[in-house]
């Protein structure tokens, strides 16, 4: 295990607000500015990163890649951080002159559309990206939108770049789905064992009212009970409709749980955790993998250490540094004045994997050939771009990463390695 002091309150020198427009075209023409006073401005976190301009390389053919995710509303913090990783990688590749496929030099363009975390909007955005920009891939960072797009992506011949740990995503027999992170089921048993041993067997569940949250809860509850624990409260929180969680949390705490299961986007998760502490909860937090300890800590500010003490979750990228990600972390901090999370790290990494897969496939538009060469893409990415230790790309399209786990003890994040 490795120990790291908590990073308290790194504030961005320039706080960037979320884009409230329906479409954000990140291209050589530039991205539109966000409107002040919008819902996104009110709800986005201080370290949120707005999509920036992409400049394509001169003398190259341009390949446009697509994105649909929440760029406004309660999940804008999450959505814009995913896009920041894509944009940073695209710009680096383009500034280096692009990449060569079958004797032709190419550079990337990125078109990002706001779906406000709504699956029906995701499906509409994906069709628009295909019809207007002929993209070979659409990156989507939420399971509802991924499932909605899997209905037609094979017919329309594009890859779904699925940033979700939902196991069912790669159980759909969809030949053009690329699941990027690990599935969440690998976290359930080790997280449960740690929290049960440290705090006790009584669990209250407060996942977000999304399909992803319900599926996570359905995976956790029987596993917790099988280990000898008891689920004393089974509820959820609708972050799209609720802004004050005291009533729901009060109900969850009525049976004196030892552990609270929480999650969703980092910002509202931080608010739930803080309000639970204010209501007297002294136990541990079992945090879904979408929410990140470092992002929660930055949202909470000066009192973060007291709130997140006793938490278990996925390790912050900045405390899980390797030879492959150190340069990215330094460059990201310098460029955005913000610490990168796993959303930015993974999306940065997958652009490099995509470029290498296109090289191996000998095509920038044959989705099936690109999908078939994702494993080769992982194997040939430059060593200083290997943000995470990817072990394989499975036949069904899921990438596997070495297991990592982080806990907070005595004000320190402890990285638990395999």
pLDDT digits (tens, 9 = 90+) for 166-188: 999 999 999 999 999 999 999 99
Sign of CA dihedral 158, 164, 165, 167: negative
- pLDDT tens digit string along 287-314? 999 898 988 998 999 889 999 999 999 9
Structure tokens at 388: 């995470």
**pLDDT more than 70, % of the chain:** 87
b/e code 64-73 from CB counts within 10 Å (16+ = b): bbbbbbbbbb
Burial of 206 (0-12, 13-18, 19+ CB in 10 A): buried
Report d(CA 88, CA 261) in Å as an integer.
Answer: 33
192: pLDDT strictly greater than 90: yes
Q: Indicate the domain borders of the chain.
A: 2-183+323-401, 186-288
Least confident of 27-31, 209-213, 284-288, 312-316: 27-31
* pLDDT confidence of residue 247: 94
Report d(CA 314, CA 148) in Å as an integer.
Answer: 27
For 190, half-sphere exposure in the C-beta direction (CA atoms, 13 angstrom radius) is 15
CATH code of 2-183+323-401, in short, is 3.40.50.2300
Q: Closest by alpha carbon to 169, among 187, 152, 150?
A: 150
Helix (H) or strand (E) holding 270: helix 266-278
* Contact predicate 70/79, CB 8 Å: yes
Do the first three CATH levels of 2-183+323-401 and 186-288 match, i.e. the same topology? yes
For 11, residues 6+ apart whose C-beta sits below 8 A from its C-beta are 46, 47, 298
The band of 1, judged by pLDDT with boundaries at 50, 70 and 90, is: low
Class level of CATH domain 186-288: alpha beta
3-class state of residue 400 by DSSP: strand
Structure tokens at 194: 């740690």
* pLDDT confidence of residue 279: 97
b/e code 144-158 from CB counts within 10 Å (16+ = b): bbbbbbbeebbeeeb
* Contact predicate 103/40, CB 8 Å: no
Angle (nearest 5°) at CA 387 between 171 and 330: 145
């Amino acid at each position: 295990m490795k120990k790291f002091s908590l990073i308290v309150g790194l504030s961005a020198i320039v706080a960037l607000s979320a884009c409230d427009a329906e479409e954000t075209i990140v291209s050589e023409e530039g991205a539109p500015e966000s409107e002040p006073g919008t819902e996104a401005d009110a709800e986005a976190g201080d370290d949120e990163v707005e999509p920036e301009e992409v400049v394509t390389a001169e003398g190259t053919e341009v390949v446009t890649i697509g994105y649909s995710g929440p760029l406004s509303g309660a999940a804008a913090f999450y959505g814009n951080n995913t896009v920041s990783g894509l944009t940073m990688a695209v710009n680096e590749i383009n500034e280096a002159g692009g990449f060569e496929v079958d004797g032709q030099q190419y550079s990337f363009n990125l078109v990002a559309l706001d779906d406000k975390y709504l699956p029906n909007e995701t499906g509409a955005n994906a069709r628009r990206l295909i019809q207007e920009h002929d993209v070979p891939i659409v990156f989507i960072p939420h399971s509802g939108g991924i499932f909605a797009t899997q209905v037609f992506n094979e017919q329309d011949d594009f890859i779904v770049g699925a940033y979700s740990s939902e196991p069912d995503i790669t159980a759909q027999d969809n030949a053009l789905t690329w699941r990027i992170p690990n599935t969440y089921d690998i976290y359930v048993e080790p997280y449960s064992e740690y929290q049960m041993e440290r705090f006790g067997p009584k669990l209250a569940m407060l996942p977000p009212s999304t399909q992803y949250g319900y599926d996570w809860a359905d995976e956790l509850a029987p596993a917790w009970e099988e280990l000898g624990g008891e689920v004393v409260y089974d509820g959820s929180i609708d972050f799209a409709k609720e802004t004050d969680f005291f009533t729901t949390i009060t109900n969850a705490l009525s049976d004196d749980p030892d552990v609270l299961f929480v999650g969703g986007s980092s910002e509202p998760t931080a608010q739930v955790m803080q309000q639970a502490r204010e209501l007297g909860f002294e136990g541990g937090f079992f945090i879904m993998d979408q929410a990140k300890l470092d992002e929660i800590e930055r949202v909470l500010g000066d009192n973060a250490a007291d709130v997140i003490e006793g938490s278990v979750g996925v390790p912050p990228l900045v405390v899980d540094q390797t030879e492959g990600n150190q340069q990215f972390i330094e460059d990201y901090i310098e460029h955005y004045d913000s610490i990168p999370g796993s959303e930015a790290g993974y999306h940065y990494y997958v652009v490099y994997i995509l470029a290498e897969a296109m090289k191996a496939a000998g095509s920038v538009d044959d989705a099936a050939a690109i999908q078939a060469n994702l494993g080769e893409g992982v194997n040939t990415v430059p060593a200083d771009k290997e943000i995470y230790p990817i072990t394989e790309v499975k036949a069904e399209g899921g990438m596997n990463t070495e297991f990592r786990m982080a806990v907070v003890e005595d004000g320190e994040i402890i990285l638990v390695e395999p």
